[in-house]
Amino acid sequence: MFNFSISTLPVLFLGVLLGALVMFAVANELGKRSRLSLGGRLLMAGAIGFGVISIGIKSIILLTFTHDGGSNLELANRFANELVDRELANQPRKTAGFFRRRSDFDSRVWIALPEHAPTPKDNVASPKKIALGKSLFNDTDLSLDRTLSCASCHRLADGGDDNEPVSTGVGGKKGNRNAPTVLNAAFLDKLFWDGRASSLEEQATGPLLNPVEMALPDAAALVERVKKSRKYRNRFTEVFGGSDPVSVQNISKAIAAYERTLLVTDTPYDRFVRGDQDAMSASAQRGMILFDEIGCRNCHADPMFSAAGKERNRGNYRMFPVHKGSPYIQRYELLVDGKPKVWRVPSLRNVALTAPYFHNGSVGTLEEAVRVMASAQLGKIISNNPEDDYSITEISRDGERPGLEMQMIKNRALNDGEIRDLVAFLKTLSKGKESL
């Protein structure tokens, strides 16, 4: 593999010899001071000198490779790439999921979603607790007029939400936020659009007591409803024990235990990063690269595709929208009280099934949602004109000598083809309704 020249060998030999002599001299002096025997001094010289000699050899090899700046440098690069490829090949594909991009980009690790959600120590799941939580989740008796349940706004067969701009509560009241999906919510560090809940347990009873959702007047009314129901009397005792097991805390724990089973973890994306190269189309793979390159992944980090995911958490909140000049901001009324707002970053898992989009449910299609994010959050131009993809500007620096300095800003625009690729990738984060 290595292409040493004849002139390299004497240099290599002299380097090793010189290193050995210097290290022996140092070790001999140290050995005298420590009153070591001759054998001890030799061992010390070997120990000290081994690392230095190794570094010297590697340095000479590197200098040899790069000496002529041409073929040897190319050989060095090929050797480095072979080492990287060998390292990647030895990684367990199930957990690593390496996706190799163009050769001028470093390899990056994309992570698949775990098959099981983390469980808090104070709410260990059991089959009976999960079954109890499922009953509560689907029980319309837990709303003021006994017409709505948690499942009314979180329809599992429709992607875990209600596919409405905002949800309709008791008495036809309308909320002011688009209902997020409950699927995979167990992998999020913060819940609700404002992130006010830090666990499924904290989140579970919020809609039950919200005046425009299920509208029970208070926690005592919720507990009373459950206690009066024959189907719950013995089940709470079996699951939680004690003389008075029906409480807001235990109701929340049961619902949360059930919600931790509402997982969609085997999407085409997950299969692809685990090694199934046929799980994603070429368009989706291009979209995957583009998703990373233009900055989407900074906020929608895998495997949950949210900065608020429990894995790869990158800070739960972001300001939205950022670029005030975007025409989409006014078109879809994305400001709150005339201003951008800080939101918990939503997950893009199951995003193909959960239209309409954004906090107010104002955008009806995934393609349009991509355009909105590209423009309002990333500052991209939406254009099919190649000239819009770059701009040339003059740099002006005060106080410096006069002269002209120019710079080119590249990749300013997204065209229709790139948007289609991004959408194709986002669709791999969902499974068909028949699989839910």
Residue 81 is predicted with a pLDDT of 41
Residue 26 is predicted with a pLDDT of 56
Domains of the chain: 8-90 (no CATH), 121-259 (1.10.760.10), 268-317+346-435 (1.10.760.10)
Peptide bond into 303 cis (omega under 30): yes
Pairing of strands 381-382, 413-414: parallel
Cα 103 off chain centre by: 23
- Non-local (6+) Cβ contacts of 116 within 8 A are 263
Most confident stretch, 74-78, 229-233, 313-317, 348-352: 348-352
Residue 65: pLDDT over 60 = no
In the residue annotation, 293 being an active-site residue is answered as: no
Q: What percent of the chain has pLDDT over 70?
A: 73
3-class SS string, 166-224: CCECHHHCECCCCCCCCCCHHHECCECCCCCECCHHHHHCHHHHCCCCCCCCCHHHHHH
Region 184-212 average pLDDT: 95
Query: What is each CA distance from 408 to 29, 380, 403, in whole angstroms?
Result: 60, 15, 17
Residue 17 is predicted with a pLDDT of 63
Q: Which of 385, 91, 137, 416 is nearest to 253 (CA)?
A: 137
Region 153-181 average pLDDT: 94
Give the tokens for residue 379.
């500052």
pTM of the model: 0.73
Region 394-417 average pLDDT: 82
Residue 436: pLDDT over 80 = no
Q: Could you say which of 29, 164, 213, 293 is catalytic? A: 213
Contact 349, 429 (CB under 8 A): yes
Residue 52: pLDDT over 80 = no
Residue 64: pLDDT over 50 = no
Residue 394: in which H helix or E strand, if any?
strand 390-394
Confidence of residue 217 (pLDDT cuts 50, 70, 90): very high
More confident residue, 372 or 63: 372
Tens digit of pLDDT for each residue in 2-44?
Answer: 444 444 455 445 655 665 665 666 556 555 554 556 665 566 5
3-state secondary structure of 268: helix
Residue 75: pLDDT over 50 = no
Contact 303, 311 (CB under 8 A): yes
Burial 169-202 (b: 16+ CB within 10 A, else e): bbeeeebebbbbbbbbbbbbbbbebebebebbbe
Region 155-172 average pLDDT: 94
Residue 395: pLDDT over 50 = yes
Q: Whose structure tokens read 């983390």?
A: 118
Residue 29: in which H helix or E strand, if any?
helix 8-34
Q: Whose structure tokens read 């909140």?
A: 317
Residue 22 is predicted with a pLDDT of 58
Residue 182: pLDDT over 90 = yes
How far is the C-alpha of 213 from the C-alpha of 216, rounded, in Å?
A: 9
Residue 312 is predicted with a pLDDT of 84
The mean of the pLDDT values for the chain is 82
Residue 88: pLDDT over 60 = no
Confidence of residue 188 (pLDDT cuts 50, 70, 90): very high
Tens digit of pLDDT for each residue in 232-261?
Answer: 989 999 999 999 999 999 999 999 999 999
Q: Which of 376, 364, 374 is nearest to 422 (CA)?
A: 374
